[in-house]
Structure 1
């Protein structure tokens, strides 16, 4: 059985299995982001092998999440954007690994560019999923918008006199929290749909 949504600009049907799959994906993605932030906060004083490894891992988490998301995404623009984000994050992981050899500034530039583009992709997918059956997607829309702004800030900071990687832990923590909140909203929505209150 599928549920219908009539919100302009969104898909017309959402399967319960898709909602359950997204809930697990968002929750796992959020927990991994927060765990990454904690690990990176204590390991980036120097851009050494450990720091570079963690820098590569973060966009890879996003890439894997995007490719897993493809299993739930229907054919159409949403699926294409999700695939684009998976490829983008894979390229970002490779680029940030290379940039790590140049120090803080190139890392921030790469992370900033990735944050802007992936934030735009997240907003587009969030708009496609903003119907009530998928929890309105406000956390994802806000997180995507903030990612664009923060990414631009990273590039400005990278061009300044005292760039720092401290901001990346804050970025990952914020993103992780938004994913966890979205998972909670999906769980609440599922319960309401089961009881027929939506």
Structure 2
């Protein structure tokens, strides 16, 4: 009598992967949509522009809450919670900075990008297992966020700061999230095929 060893991942991993796939895809699509709307709405730092600027970290905070509820207890969950709280604080700070114009907004957004990029790198490193798609897009996105955030603070201190870069930032981040979702979906299909 032969015993067949199942190669399918445990149900908890499958549930986490499915939840993260939906989260990454939704987060990516929202980021790209935000970038397209913001592209035509930030000529002046008016009420509409400030509202959109506040909405972006709020989207990140909600995503972090969904992520927090989907992952098991542990250090990864604590980093996710930290990122959610950070995004709420960033939304408040950006709303206040909006009254000061482009440079203060760019400073706050840049600082948030640096810290949240570092948090994203940590989470990506902890999720690097094959079951969750390797997380390379997440790692690259987090690293770029960190570097770009520094450049935003340098630009904000210069003579001609511009919010144009934020549309590029959001669109780029959205593409990386979508790519991560696609990689996870591909990995899911591979694992299901092997389990048959």
Return structure 1 stretches of 4+ with deviation > 3 angstroms: none
In the alignment, which residue of structure 1 is the partner of 2:58?
60
Listed as ranges, the matches of 1:172-187 within 5 Å are 172-187=170-185
Higher fraction of helix: 2
Q: From 139, 157, 160, give the equivalent of 2:158.
A: 160
Listed as ranges, the matches of 1:75-86 within 5 Å are 75-86=73-84
- Superposed CA RMSD: 1.4
Partner Cα separation in structure 2 for residue 35 and residue 109 of structure 1: 23
Gaps of 5+ in 1: 5-12
- 1:47 alignment partner, SS class: coil
CA contact (8 A) 1:139 1:182 kept: yes
Partner Cα separation in structure 1 for residue 136 and residue 12 of structure 2: 17
Gaps of 5+ in 2: 1-5
Q: From 139, 145, 148, give the equivalent of 2:146.
A: 148
Listed as ranges, the matches of 1:32-47 within 5 Å are 32-47=30-45
CA contact (8 A) 1:140 1:182 kept: yes
**C-alpha offsets along residues 112-166 of structure 1, whole Å, 9 cap, x if unaligned?**
0000000000000000000100000000000000000000000000000000000
In the alignment, which residue of structure 2 is the partner of 1:127?
125
Q: From 3, 24, 30, give the equivalent of 2:9.
A: 3
Partner Cα separation in structure 2 for residue 92 and residue 71 of structure 1: 21
CA contact (8 A) 1:14 1:133 kept: no
- 2:154 alignment partner, SS class: helix
